Amino acid sequence: MEEIILEVQNLSKHFGGLIALNKVSFSVKKGEIFGIIGPNGSGKTTLINCISGFVRPDEGHVYFKGKEITGLPPHKIANYGLVRTFQIVRPYYSLPAYKNLIIPLFSPRVRKMGGWRGGGKYGDRDAVAVDILEELGFERDSRVPYKLASSLPAGYQKRLELARCLALRPELIMCDEIFAGLSMSEVATLVPLIEKLKMEGLTLIMIEHRLKELFKLADRVMVLHFGEKIMEGEPYEVIEDERVKKAYIGEEVF
Amino acid sequence: MELLRKERVDRGIKVRTEGIYAISGWQEILYLLMPRLLLIVGLVALPLILEPFPYWKRVINIMCAYAILSLSFDFLANYVGLANLGSALFTGVGGYLSAIFSLKLGLPVFLAIPLATLSGAVVCTLLLLPTLPLRGVYFAIVTLMYPLLFSRIIEALNILGGTNGLSGVPGFEKALVEEYTVILVLLAFLFSLRRLVNEDFGLVLRGIKDNDQAVKASGINVTWMKAIAVFIAAVLGSFVGSYMVHLYMWAGLSLFALDFSVIPIASVVIGGGGTLIGGVIGSFILVPLSEVLRAFGTLRIAIYCIILTVFIVMKSEGIMVYLQRKYHQFERWVKV
Amino acid sequence: MYVLIYGLINSFILSLLSLGFALVYSIARLPNFAHGAIYVATGYVGWFLFNRLLLPFPVAMFLALLFSALTGALIYRIVLIKVRGMTLSEVIASYAIGIAILEILRWGGLRGMTFMLPVLIPGSVEILGVSIDYQRLIIVGLSAGLLLFLYLFTHHTKIGLSFRAIAQDERASLMLGIDSDKAALLSLSMGSAFCGLAALFILPLGNIVVEAGYSTLIFALAVCVVGGLGSTAGVVAASFILGFTQTLTEKLISSHFQMVVALLAIIGILILRPSGLFGKQKELEERV
């Protein structure tokens, strides 16, 4: 399917004198994994914030499934099926892991859709929450889903964050550095999960620093540098491009 | 020399009462029910015990009213994350509305109170609505200011009876109704709020307190949820206001007094925040105490504020939390 | 003409009152609800030193000022430092302290008689057909001078610059070696000192009453909310707007409506432009 699910046109945002985004445009096809890379400070998180409604862009438009969502409040955008993870994962500390999912399951989107995969429409959100966690690798029979969210190790917390997004039955997930801070084995367990999501028809935008894993997953990659898009293409093209190398590594002075 | 550390372990009976095993024996049932029964039976029996002391019966009524305000504050502060420094706004609005309904519209007391409760809550929620999309400090500032501003405006413009207030408000016909209304309402609010915070809606509110950005990103309209929470708290507060007005058969500036704002906060901090029952117990201690200390006038508020600050600075968990911990767990020294 | 002159004067009075609060909030992120209490307490201490201990007035004033700065520092050191970062507890603690101070004063100090502080220069002068007392002129001068002092301080002294750094980005400042605790302590002392200064010069215009504590807090809050929490330019702008509006209502309707003006201004600002006139906080605080 070549249909375009997300279209971003000329997105610009500045904070005082700092230009965070400068006329960034790109489109994402339904069902693909679209990577966004760039050195620190290139505006990647601001881009996600603008698309997901947490920050209002100064210029530009964002279209999701053909509908304009620029400047809408974050909860409305999430209810349309466009969700995002947070770079610094902060679960609801006072609640157990599976109760964390009650919040997204409470949203109008899930309630309208009749629960999650058929179940949980009329209040049995607890069971549905445990189901979702199981999909993401929280063993059902262990005590892990019932532990307080604050006591989970980092890999589990990241997966909980992903579960929070999945509970909304989204069509597009924007992952803000989901591999950050994870060990090799934790990343290794996460990668097949993402592949499974793609197989199920989910579109993913992944902002990443860990290029090796990203390039294994992504269909296309876009490179940001100082808020501008400098390159877009397939992973092997991008990695060879001179401008990208310059941005990441710098150029020879002599 | 041995190194010892303190360890807290759940009591045997607490473990035995988890889940379905709670009804496995009379000891377990008693363990669970006793605190609640004690509270309910105690409260209900109190007016009967104090029959020969009408002054103290009145104190019990006021005590329960403040307990409801403490519930309101605890709910907003520890379950939603909003610090309500002006519960007096709720009592003032609810009280004056109830007086107007009885005096100007001639409604009987049993209609005026519910009507004032609901309409007062709507008015208060609307007044506080602009602060809800903003950071918590704005809510604190605005709740602090409203009661002070309203009492000054009423005094300055001499409306709603000015400094003399509205007198001649009808009271409760039967003493029994007067005594038990507030007790039953307190128990009803207490147990329903306890249910509510563990229901899905309550979990969403607690999520907002912990991390409201994540809740927004999960598709929930946080401002609307906060508005509902404020409405619930305002219902509690407005009820207290309208009850007091019919208790004293008078509505005046004292409805916006600092007492209504400060004593609930002190009760919750001293009694144990986040437990709902903590604030109730706190009021049960502080209100009779303030009657005993009547001679000190407004110094009582100052004393409560100082005690409250001490509790906060010492990061004390509060009386109820301490007692609950003792009830559920025991401590022992173990070798490291 | 009366409106113009007195509007101007009232604006300066308001900004004098509010500077202390705004300073503390923008640097330490602490809403100091004990602001009004420090105001009245300083006035009372000044009165006590002058009338009871019979110290010469300048000495009494200086000591009272010291008292206010010390009180601010103590409040921070004993209470607020323990609850730094927990917004709920900070707010409740400073609120409780403020009320405690005010009610103790009501019960034990300011009772039974009228308390007055002497003006610095008695008498009045006629400017453009309107009679103004010297004290009010002094207040205007003081207020303007304080604003100038603040500007120079925060732009040209090391401490002042570190204040601005912390106000913009606390974490980054910490990394650069600026101790935010010391800065908060200092800012709370300075803010309280400004508050005490305001008290010593404004209270002579009337009596010292406990109610002034609550009204001062309300006005300071109104000015800061309308101007934007965390912005000094906002405080100035808001003081002028509120000052002129209040003087206008006083002249046209009645002086009782001043409170109504404050209330409407706050509600209006929160609906129309919540971050205040000059509030820059809204965008950057998205803590994602």
Chain A residues close to B228, C-beta within 8 Å: none
**pLDDT of the residue at A250:** 65
- State the pTM of this model: 0.89
Low-confidence ranges of chain B (pLDDT < 70): 1, 19, 21
Buried b (16+ CB within 10 A) or exposed e, C247-286: bebbeeeeeebbbbbbbebbbebbeeebbbbbbbbeeeee
- Chain B: give the shortest CA distance to residue A40, in Å: 23
pLDDT digits (tens, 9 = 90+) for C176-194: 877 778 888 888 888 899 9
Q: Which helix (H) or strand (E) holds C234?
A: helix C232-252
Contact A194, A217 (CB under 8 A): yes
Rg (CA), chain B: 21
Planar angle of CA B184, B325, B9, nearest 5 degrees: 140
- Interface mutation vs chain B, best among A80, A103, A173, most B CBs within 10 Å: A103
CATH of domain A4-249: 3.40.50.300
- Interface mutation vs chain C, best among B93, B313, B316, most C CBs within 10 Å: B313
* Alpha carbon of residue B237 to chain centroid: 8
Q: Which residues contact B124 (CB under 8 A, 6 or more apart)?
A: B89, B90, B93, B230, B234, B237, B238
- Among A16, A54, A87, the residue with its CB nearest the CB of C286 is A54
Structure tokens at B244: 């007091």
**pLDDT of the residue at C182:** 82
Closest CA to C184 of C73, C78, C35, C96: C73
d(CA A42, CA A23): 13
pLDDT digits (tens, 9 = 90+) for A22-63: 889 999 999 899 999 888 777 888 899 999 988 888 889 999
pLDDT digits (tens, 9 = 90+) for B170-203: 888 887 888 888 899 999 999 999 889 888 888 8
Task: Look at residue C132 and tell me whether its pLDDT is greater than 90.
Answer: no
Of B287 and C130, more confident: B287
- Chain A: give the shortest CA distance to residue B204, in Å: 5
Interface chains of chain A (3 or more CB pairs under 8 Å): B, C
Give the pLDDT band of residue A120 (cuts 50, 70, 90).
Answer: very low
Question: Domains in chain B: how many in total?
Answer: 1
Q: Which helix (H) or strand (E) holds B166?
A: strand B166-167
pLDDT digits (tens, 9 = 90+) for B52-71: 888 888 888 999 999 999 99
Task: Give residue limits of the domains in chain C.
Answer: 2-210
Between B247-251, C22-26, C105-109, C168-172, the lowest mean confidence (pLDDT) is in C168-172
Chain A residues close to C172, C-beta within 8 Å: none
Judged by a CB distance cut-off of 8 A, whether residue B203 touches chain A is: yes
Chain B residues close to A93, C-beta within 8 Å: 210
What ipTM goes with this model? 0.85
Task: Give residue limits of the domains in chain A.
Answer: 4-249
**pLDDT of the residue at B256:** 92
**pLDDT of the residue at A122:** 52
- Interface mutation vs chain A, best among B218, B220, B228, most A CBs within 10 Å: B218
Contact at CB, B156 and C271, closer than 8 angstroms: no
The strand pair at B4-10 and A228-233 is best described as: unpaired
Contact at CB, A103 and B210, closer than 8 angstroms: no
- Domain containing B125 — which CATH number? 1.10.3470
Structure tokens at C107: 């019960």
**pLDDT of the residue at B92:** 93
Other Cβ atoms within 10 Å of B92 Cβ, number: 30
**pLDDT of the residue at C282:** 47
Chain B residues close to A86, C-beta within 8 Å: 213-214, 217
**pLDDT of the residue at C284:** 40
Query: Which residues form the domain of B70?
Result: 4-335
Judged by a CB distance cut-off of 8 A, whether residue B19 touches chain A is: no
Query: What are residue A36's DSSP bridge partners?
Result: A207, A222
